[in-house]
Amino acid sequence: MLLHTIFLIAIAAEAMTAALAAGRRKMDWFGVCMLACVTALGGGTMRDILLGHYPLSWVADPNLLLICCGAALATIAGARFMHKLKWPFLLLDAIGLVVFSIIGCNVALEMGQPFVVVIVSGMITGIVGGILRDVLCNDVPLVFSSELYATVAIVAGLLYTGGLALGLPRELVIVVTLALGFAFRVAAIVFKWEMPKFVYDKELR
């Protein structure tokens, strides 16, 4: 219940940041809505396609599409105030990343998938929306080179599945995962924690 509420808020927040990205590319209102839907729902969609888990969440509940479009249009309407909202967006995105990861793990767990697939399922749910957004905006995906993001999704997945495996009550595991995952992501932003980069500029010969 709590999870689903945060999920909806996170969807709206992802849609709003996607709308701003669309605005930087001077997309029209339709493009803004489309990019918002792809970004907010793309991770779960990719997970479900890869796992063969039908129907997709937004097919079963098309209100998710309306939430994304509503959030996108609200972003256009309130564009002049958005530049002050960097931190609210970052915080909502951080909590959204953890919620997406938990939900992704859950889907794979319920399908009886092996451990590695469960963690990957959580990670895909958390990060693929942003990757699709960047591909459609013609950028190299940010998640491949910026502050810890996918790592947060993986750690959240490990905390969640680990807690469940220990037999702890599900509600407790969710709250702890949310708190620690959120703190981890915020710390990564504040302290600019990054994965080491792999820089390779030689030609093979």
Which residues contact a copy of itself (rule: CB under 8 A)?
19-20, 22-32, 34-35, 45, 49-52, 54-56, 59, 62, 65-66, 76, 79, 82-86, 89, 113-117, 120, 131, 135-141, 143-145, 150-151, 194-205
Nearer to a copy of itself, 17 or 174 (CB): 17
Nearer to a copy of itself, 166 or 202 (CB): 202
Nearer to a copy of itself, 52 or 167 (CB): 52
Helix (H) or strand (E) holding 133: helix 115-136
The single-letter DSSP state of residue 145 is T
Provide the minimum distance between the beta carbon of 175 and a copy of itself in the complex, in angstroms, as a whole number. Answer: 27
Dihedral of CA 81/136/45/148: which sign? Answer: negative
Provide the minimum distance between the beta carbon of 71 and a copy of itself in the complex, in angstroms, as a whole number. Answer: 13
Residue 194 pairs in a beta bridge with: 147
Provide the minimum distance between the beta carbon of 61 and a copy of itself in the complex, in angstroms, as a whole number. Answer: 9
Count of beta carbons in the 10 Å neighbourhood of residue 84: 8
Provide the minimum distance between the beta carbon of 50 and a copy of itself in the complex, in angstroms, as a whole number. Answer: 6
Nearer to a copy of itself, 59 or 183 (CB): 59
153-191: buried (b, 16+ CB within 10 Å) or exposed (e) per residue? bbbbbbbbbebbeeeeeeeebbeebbebbbebbbebbee
Provide the minimum distance between the beta carbon of 169 and a copy of itself in the complex, in angstroms, as a whole number. Answer: 28
Tell me whether residue 60 is exposed, middle or buried, using C-beta atoms within 10 angstroms of its C-beta: 0 to 12, 13 to 18, 19 or more. exposed
**CB of 41 within 8 A of CB of 61?**
no
Provide the minimum distance between the beta carbon of 170 and a copy of itself in the complex, in angstroms, as a whole number. Answer: 24
Whose CA is closest to 103, among 181, 166, 199, 194? 181
Tokens found for residue 27 = 């997309």
Nearer to a copy of itself, 18 or 95 (CB): 18
Nearer to a copy of itself, 59 or 172 (CB): 59
